[in-house]
Structure 1
Amino acid sequence: MKTALAAASTALVLASGVFPGGAQASSLKSCAVPPVVTPAPAEIPPASEVHANVPIAAYLLALFWSPEACRAGIPESDKVIQCQNNHFGFTVHGLWPNGPDKVHPRYCRPSPPMSPATVKANLCMTPSPWLLQHEWQAHGTCDWATPEDYFKKARKLRDKLNVPDLDAGSDGVMSAGEIRKAFLDRNRKLKPEDLNVRVNRDGRLTEVWVCMNLKFKYAACRGGNGAPDGAIVKVTAKR
């Protein structure tokens, strides 16, 4: 059984261009993905979530802390690609056009399932076929002509960021201020008010939101900054 599992793992690695014992490129460029990928079906959103005529006032790049997504088993995570075959830190949840108030553009037009090639090309950025389809339909259709255009923009914005790999140490905790500082130290154009540190009810880090204006320049988050700097946050360790 161990031999079979090793062979399967090697097939995944070779398919992605990541080789045992070698240096691995950034998670946006190289990771272990299946040689064959099945796109998720198209979503049929509830009517209450369709907001096609809301104007865009700002943008937000949402970054999942992948170890926590896997620990909690959230529906958006892919159990194999994201949580077994790779060791991600921050992954891209989505690029979201935001409205001027509490209602944001969503599900602006229907869309069929994405092509397998498009899904596979973006799995090292957003390692879940279901989440890729959802993000395109729920957010991308409100400002981009094709899923390829949408994910190209998300990738460009993610590549622009020098995203830290958090290490909370033996006690597994950091302050929200330390999490912000990890981003600020690597990105001189970012300011504390441009970041929203998201935690769940258990005080665990779930996401960091990077806020931008209509020109995709970093800007103060319109919906607040999440956990205050002094808040103690549990940071799930990478495997």
Structure 2
Amino acid sequence: MGFFTRFVLINLVIFQCFSLLCFAQDFDFFYFVQSWPGSYCDTGRSCCHPQSGKPSADFKIHGLWPNYNDGTYPSNCDSSNPFDRTKISDLMGSMQKNWPSLACPSSDSTKFWAHEWNKHGTCAESVLDQHGYFETTLNLKNQANILQALRTAGINPDGSYYSLNKIKSAIEQGIKLSPGITCNVDESGNSQLYEIYLCVDSSASNFIDCPIFPDENCASSVEFPEF
């Protein structure tokens, strides 16, 4: 084997190894994010119920997002593996119940799921394939019953206002995890409980303490609107 041939082969091996490392897990943890539909709907943009009907009054999945410890995140990592609804056909009932789109116009939520997979899920392919990504996220929802934790502490989605610190304490007591919380603002300018952030390890196996929380934009007292 000549020198040039050996040189080419060695560089090819190095390139392949580098490529594999690049495709390997390239994030530190996941944000698991759930939204309160009453807050999503009670804004100037309004909302539309999905074609499957009005969702139940419970927190709904927004997504499972790979993140870095510095607060940045990867996105749109593999355009060669776009969302394919047929790969999650067995999950449809649970998806429509727990992960519906409330965007207008009314839809079957496919566009929402495609966005979540294409933007976030493709960055976790070293850990989860497409079916595994959605199935794992649904399982996380079952494990972390945020609404039950709040109700146990007397915090109910009835339009009342609650201390943000009390909401955090209720979730910590109920599911043994410190949440990140973000709020939105209704048409009257009132701060509303909107999204709950929990953190999951990079293997998507266990909840963990969050290395970093999203920027908090809530008032000290927030509304928990009806849905």
| TM-score where L is the length of structure 1 | 0.63
Match of 2:207 in 1: 218
The one of 198, 207, 229 aligned to 2:182: 198
Match of 1:98 in 2: 67
Residue type of the alignment partner of 1:200: N
Structure 2 vs 1, CA of residues 158 and 92 (structure 1 numbering), >3 Å: closer, same or farther? Answer: same
The one of 128, 131, 144 aligned to 1:161: 144
Match of 1:147 in 2: 130
Please give the secondary structure, in 2, of the residue aligned with 1:107: coil
The whole-number CA distance in structure 1 between the counterparts of 2:158 and 2:98 is 28
Q: Which has the higher contact order (CA 8 A, sep 6+)?
A: 2
Residue type of the alignment partner of 2:221: I
Match of 2:114 in 1: 133
Structure 2 vs 1, CA of residues 73 and 118 (structure 1 numbering), >3 Å: closer, same or farther? Answer: farther
RMSD, aligned α-carbons: 3.2
Match of 2:167 in 1: 179
Does the CA contact (< 8 Å) of 1:94 and 1:154 recur in 2? yes
Residue type of the alignment partner of 1:108: C
Please give the secondary structure, in 1, of the residue aligned with 2:42: helix
Does the CA contact (< 8 Å) of 1:56 and 1:105 recur in 2? yes
Structure 2 vs 1, CA of residues 228 and 142 (structure 1 numbering), >3 Å: closer, same or farther? Answer: closer
Identity of aligned residues (%): 20
Does the CA contact (< 8 Å) of 1:164 and 1:182 recur in 2? no
The one of 77, 81, 94 aligned to 2:50: 81
Structure 2 vs 1, CA of residues 108 and 81 (structure 1 numbering), >3 Å: closer, same or farther? Answer: same
The one of 124, 143, 162 aligned to 2:97: 124
Aligned-pair CA distance for 1:237? 1.3
Please give the secondary structure, in 1, of the residue aligned with 2:165: helix
Structure 2 vs 1, CA of residues 185 and 108 (structure 1 numbering), >3 Å: closer, same or farther? Answer: same
Does the CA contact (< 8 Å) of 1:164 and 1:186 recur in 2? no
Residue type of the alignment partner of 1:224: F
Match of 2:20 in 1: none
The whole-number CA distance in structure 2 between the counterparts of 1:170 and 1:125 is 21
Structure 2 unaligned residues grouped into runs of 5+:
1-22, 102-108
Does the CA contact (< 8 Å) of 2:69 and 2:212 recur in 1? no
| TM-score where L is the length of structure 2 | 0.66
Structure 2 vs 1, CA of residues 102 and 231 (structure 1 numbering), >3 Å: closer, same or farther? Answer: same
Match of 1:209 in 2: 197
Please give the secondary structure, in 2, of the residue aligned with 1:200: strand
Higher percent of residues as helix: 2
Structure 1 unaligned residues grouped into runs of 5+:
1-51
Structure 2 vs 1, CA of residues 82 and 236 (structure 1 numbering), >3 Å: closer, same or farther? Answer: farther
Deviates more, 1:211-220 or 1:88-97: 211-220
Does the CA contact (< 8 Å) of 2:33 and 2:198 recur in 1? yes
Q: Select the structure of larger CA radius of gyration.
A: 2
